[in-house]
Amino acid sequence: MTAVDEEALTSAEADELERAAEAALRPKRLEEFVGQRVVREQLALVLQAARSRGACADHVLLAGPPGLGKTTLAMIIASEMHASLRLTSGPAITHAGDLAAILSSVQEGDVLFIDEIHRLARPAEEMLYLAMEDFRVDVVVGKGAGATSIPLSLPRFTVVGATTRAGLLPAPLRDRFGFTGHMDFYEAADLERVIARSARLLDISLDPAAGREIARRSRGTPRIANRLLRRVRDWAQVRGNGAADEAAARAALEVFEVDPRGLDRLDRSVLHTLCVRFGGGPVGLTSIAMAVGEEPETVETVAEPYLLREGFLVRTPRGRAATALAWDHLGLRPPSAPGTQAQGTLFVDGSGAPPA
Ligand SMILES: Nc1ncnc2c1ncn2[C@@H]1O[C@H](COP(=O)(O)OP(=O)(O)OP(=O)(O)O)[C@@H](O)[C@H]1O
């Protein structure tokens, strides 16, 4: 096995472990689901009404940045409806035939979760409209002039679609969802509750001040909060005295390059590129992505929403531009200020100054 294979295996194993750790922390019922008060209330109503009619729930679209709980909510919908859950994703369905195979095995009342639904191939998308509206698929048998289309009726089922980019969904598909839950970043207080709950489940005795520190630096995202909690536990075990207290939280977050505003390496790299390489912008998404070595979609869906929300950057018709807060956070001065040099190295504390 080559060094590259070994590395790939290790990171695949690490991803698998992270996924397993995440799965163990998923709330199973709507009342355990912390925060997102509006979506929770709307969903509770939709599900209760469907249950009392003895019908399956209307199709649900969940929209919002990664890690806010869309998959978790899909699982909760299935469990609240006492239904079986089938999971797939837009990129996994490369041909309409893949979707036809899934749909033809769907049972009455099932919940079909389609993650990244905005990435479905067009023919599959069209098949899905029909399935969602008329509970029917047309299966094409044969090729060319001899091809025939055989209609296949489906039992009633619920599609739960998740997307980080609701704007990319074609209107006909969007319109087939009876309810859309718009998920937003969590308030720090809600994240503290997520962290306290996870600490209990993981049997970590967590100091409330450490929970606050982790919450503050989790970019409003439960997945990040849970991940940082596990890293704080690691630090406490290996370098500390086992106590997950505030000092352990600060030290661990420093090691894992999460700065005091919760920005991680990618966030800082985007801001740094914008300020130093492009003089603060405005500059197009693709140029930023190329400069930081990421896909434009990753920059747009993973880094940008939080940077926008926190006021580090703005979107203008001519591209992304850094705000005064971004320059300040990096310890740099914008080029218009006299005597400015838009240069510097990024440090974990976001100061722009090297550690003493
Ligand atoms: N409201 C919540 N309360 C408690 N834990 C939560 C909540 N939302 C999410 N989590 C936890 O955060 C993790 C990520 O959630 P999930 O996988 O559902 O996010 P997602 O929005 O589907 O992300 P992606 O779009 O990247 O797939 C899970 O471990 C889940 O337990």
Cis link prior to 305 (omega < 30° from 0)? no
Which contiguous run of DSSP H or E holds residue 230? helix 222-238
Task: Say whether 223 is catalytic.
Answer: yes
Contact indicator for 100, 68 with CB cutoff of 8 Å = no
Domains: count for the chain: 3
Same domain, residue pair 248 and 268: no
**Ramachandran area for residue 57 (φ above 0: left; ψ -120 to 50: alpha; else beta):** beta
Tell whether ligand 1 has an atom less than 6 A from the beta carbon of residue 186.
Answer: no
Same domain, residue pair 73 and 200: no
134 is in an annotated binding site: yes
Same domain, residue pair 51 and 120: yes
CA distance 59 to 69: 17
CA separation (Å) from 58 to 157, 166, 274? Answer: 8, 18, 43
The CATH number linked to 294 is 1.10.10.10
Kindly state whether residue 3 falls inside one of the protein's structural domains.
no
Tell whether ligand 1 has an atom less than 6 A from the beta carbon of residue 69.
Answer: yes
Which contiguous run of DSSP H or E holds residue 282? none
Tell whether ligand 1 has an atom less than 6 A from the beta carbon of residue 262.
Answer: no
Residue 85 CB burial class (10 angstroms; 0-12, 13-18, ≥19): middle
Kindly state whether residue 6 falls inside one of the protein's structural domains.
no
Kindly state whether residue 9 falls inside one of the protein's structural domains.
no
CA separation (Å) from 78 to 60, 111, 115? Answer: 12, 6, 15
ipTM above 0.90, yes or no: yes
Tell me the pairing of strands 136-141 and 148-153: antiparallel
Task: Say whether 29 is catalytic.
Answer: no
Q: Which atom of ligand 1 is nearest to the CA of 116?
A: 25
Q: From the CA of 69, how far away is ligand 1's center (Å)? A: 3
Kindly state whether residue 7 falls inside one of the protein's structural domains.
no
CA distance 194 to 215: 9
pLDDT of 14 reads 67
Q: Which atom of ligand 1 is nearest to the CA of 183?
A: 21
pLDDT in tens, the chain (356 residues): 444 444 555 666 767 777 777 778 899 999 999 999 999 999 999 999 999 999 999 999 999 999 999 999 999 999 999 999 999 999 999 888 899 999 999 999 999 999 999 999 998 999 998 999 999 998 877 777 788 888 889 999 999 999 998 888 889 899 999 999 999 999 999 999 999 999 999 989 899 999 999 999 999 999 999 999 999 999 999 998 888 999 999 999 999 999 999 999 999 999 999 999 999 989 999 999 999 999 999 999 999 999 999 999 999 999 999 999 999 999 998 886 544 444 444 444 444 443 33
Same domain, residue pair 212 and 244: yes
Range of the domain at 55: 24-182
Structure tokens at 173: 């598909």
- Domain-terminating residue out of 125, 160, 182: 182
Kindly state whether residue 146 falls inside one of the protein's structural domains.
yes
pLDDT of 216 reads 95
Task: Say whether 70 is catalytic.
Answer: yes
Same domain, residue pair 311 and 354: yes
